[in-house]
Amino acid sequence: MSNVHTDLDSTDSHSSAWTEFKANTATNNATVWGGRGRGGRGVSRHQQSAVSSKSLHLYNLCLSFGSTELIADSELQLNVGHRYCILGKNGSGKSTLLKRLASRSIPGFPLALSIAFLPQEPQPPSPEASCRSAVQNLLLGVCADRKFSLISEQAEIELILADHDPDPLQSPDDDFDDHSVLLSRLDEIEDDLAEFESHSAEQACKNILVRLGFTIEQLNAPVSTLSGGFRHRVELAAVLISYADLLLLDEPTNHLDLDSIINLEVSE
């Protein structure tokens, strides 16, 4: 799921500035791409991108592979809560575009957007993963990552709330709005973590695998005994339960039967 090509060709004339901007964001907490002094080297104001956005809106998108130009001066917009399909001939750059989005190597990509990526071909499991069942791999992989992320976010919010408790008589309304949002998010995190303490996470893993065609025997069998197609379904299941903001699926119906394809189409 996480194998992403990061050594692809430069995407456009701002690629080096984008690399510098991402480095500065990590150290200086920069939030906006574009404009002089912000990594954009003169990118026009209407093309600036807030890296905290949960939607994706890229301007002047250029894409090349070697000497082949795949996309030139295009606009890409993906809105929260929508599904999109990329259509094109073989070699037109569909997989290359997905890989570069997954690696955040396209200038202007919202850095706060979490990504789960399913490559076109099954990836070989590690020796440890080969010995575990599909359910165990999901629990120890994406579910464990999710739990760690929730615990980290919980600690961060609690620290913010401890450092800043607004006074209703002196603080502006915006402070109370922000404070309420943080408290609400903290409640959501506590509910999510409570699920991990029960058997909900394990049952969710089983449910998604069954919807993708797994039998009870296959759920508990070592991954090394599964065919390449069913190992690919384990990777697909990991993406679907990842809680990522953006799911990038490269030909996800490969290796799926009709029932599994229908279940994928109707999945939330």
pLDDT of residue 217: 93
pLDDT of residue 27: 55
pTM of the predicted model over 0.85 = no
pLDDT of residue 218: 94
pLDDT of residue 90: 86
Per-residue pLDDT of the chain (268 residues; tens, 9 = 90+): 444 444 445 555 566 676 777 676 655 555 555 554 444 444 544 444 544 567 788 877 888 777 778 888 888 888 888 889 988 888 888 888 898 888 888 877 877 778 889 998 877 888 888 899 999 888 888 877 778 877 888 888 888 888 776 555 555 555 546 778 788 888 888 887 777 666 688 888 899 999 999 999 999 899 999 988 899 999 999 999 887 888 999 998 888 888 888 888 876 5
pLDDT of residue 147: 81
Buried residues in 240-254 as b, exposed as e (16+ CB within 10 A): bbbebbbbbbbebee
